[in-house]
Amino acid sequence: MKSIIIHTLSPSETKELGIKIGRLCKAGDVIALDGDLGAGKTCLIQGLAKGLGVSKKSYVRSPTFTILNVHNGRVPLYHFDLYRLSDLDELEEIGYREYIYGEGVSAIEWASNVEEAIPAECLRIAIKRVGEDEREIEITSKGAKYEGRFLKEWV
């Protein structure tokens, strides 16, 4: 497990960081994000989607699965938002394992709300608001595959 801390000074810098992460992502990756409302989780994931080659058109909002949106990129992006979730049931209903352990990249906002659903090996991202436009972004690799790809030589 290794961590780095990055400060961004604008939404576009956070998005840029997301793009870098997205470019390095591979099928099966799990990116677990935490941080208060307005911290910048969605902003970072917008960049991540771009880095994965998701086009604006490929945005699919599922009417039934409001906690999950699927985007088609170089590999599929499964964007979870677990804000309103506090137990596993709702996640079980949508068969979340098919996604998280599937062939796409999962980006999960509010991961710590349902910690038991998050694989032990993942890339953790914690975002803190430290000023109007400044954010402290801590990226932690949990598992060798993430450390090698995201933290060893990069940033």
Ligand X SMILES: Nc1ncnc2c1ncn2[C@@H]1O[C@H](COP(=O)(O)OP(=O)(O)O)[C@@H](O)[C@H]1O
Q: Which residues bind ligand X (CB under 6 A)?
A: 8-11, 13-14, 35, 37-43, 109, 133, 135
Cβ closest to ligand X, residue 103 vs residue 133:
133
- Give Cα separations from 63 to 23, 33, 60, 145 (angstroms): 29, 23, 9, 34
When binding is defined by CB under 5 A, the residue of 20, 23, 28, 42 that contacts Mg ion is 42
Q: How far is the CB of 56 from ligand X (least distance, A)?
A: 17
**Shortest Cβ 35–Mg ion spacing (Å):** 9
Determine the Cα–Cα distance for residues 61 and 71; give it in Å rounded to an integer: 9
Q: Which of residues 85-114 bind Mg ion (CB under 5 A)?
A: 109
Could you tell me the maximum CA-CA distance found in the chain, to the nearest angstrom? 41
CA distance 25 to 107: 11
Q: Kindly indicate which of the ranges 19-27, 34-42, 111-119, 143-151 contains the residues binding Mg ion, using the contact rule CB under 5 A.
A: 34-42
